[in-house]
Structure 1
Amino acid sequence: MAADRASEDLTARARIRDAALRLFTERGIDGASIRDIAAAAGVSSGLIRHHFGSKEALRDACDAYATAEMNRLRDQMFEGGGLTDTAGMVALHPTMRALQGYLVRSMVDGSDAAGALFDDAVQLSEEWLTRGKVETRDLRAYAAVLVAMQLGVFLMKDQMSRALGVDLDTPAGHVRLNRGFVDAFSHVLLTPEQAAQLHTAMDRMDDGGQR
Structure 2
Amino acid sequence: MSSPHDLTARARIRDAAIELFADRGIDGATIRDIALKAGVSSGLLRHHFGSKEGLRDACDEFVVSELTGVQTRFMEFPSLNRIEPEWLRMQRYLIRSLVDGSPTAQVLFDRLVDYGEQWVRSTDLKVADPRAYSAVLCVMKMSMFTMGDQLSRVLGVNTAEPEGWGRMLSASLDIFSHPLVTPEQAEQLRGAIVRFQTPEE
**TM-score, length of structure 1 as denominator length:** 0.87
Partner SS state of residue 30, structure 1: coil
Is the partner of 2:157 in helix, strand or coil?
coil
List aligned pairs for 1:89-108, cutoff 5 A.
Answer: 89-90=81-82, 92-108=83-99
Q: Which residue of 1 is the match for residue 137 of structure 2?
A: 146
Q: Which residue of 2 aligns with 1:71?
A: 68
CA–CA separation in structure 2 for the residues paired with 1:121 and 1:208: 33
Residue matched to 2:172: 181
Cα distance, 1:36 vs. partner?
A: 1.2
Q: Report the structure, 1 or 2, having the larger helix content.
A: 1
The whole-number CA distance in structure 2 between the counterparts of 1:126 and 1:154 is: 22
CA contact (8 A) 2:88 2:160 kept: yes
User: Which of 25, 47, 62 is equivalent to 1:50?
Assistant: 47
Q: Letter of the aligned partner of 2:95 in structure 1?
A: V
Q: CA deviation at 1:35?
A: 1.0
Q: Which whole-Å CA distance do the structure 1 matches of 2:176 and 2:200 have between them?
A: 32
Structure 1 residues without counterparts, runs of 5 or longer: 1-7
% identity of equivalent residues: 50
RMSD of aligned alpha carbons? 1.7
CA distance in 2, matches of 1:37, 1:24: 9
The match for 1:35 is 32
Distance 1:189 1:160 in 2: 21
Partner of 1:129: 120
SS at 2:26 equivalent: helix
Q: Which moved more, 1:143-152 or 1:129-138?
A: 129-138
* Residue-pair matches, total: 196
Q: Which amino acid aligns with 2:39?
A: G
CA distance in 2, matches of 1:77, 1:136: 27
Q: Determine the C-alpha separation between the residues in 1 that align with 2:122 and 2:164.
A: 31
Change in Cα spacing, 1:167 to 1:118, as seen in structure 2 (3 Å) is same
Give the letter for the 2:149 counterpart: D
**Given the two structures, how large is their TM-score scaled by the length of structure 2?**
0.91
Q: 2:14 aligns with which of 10, 17, 26?
A: 17
The one-letter code of the counterpart of 1:22 is E
Tell me the amino acid that sits aligned with residue 62 of structure 2: Y
Segment drifting more, 199-208 vs 32-41: 199-208
The residue type paired with residue 81 of structure 2 is: M
How far apart are residue 141 of structure 1 and its match?
1.0
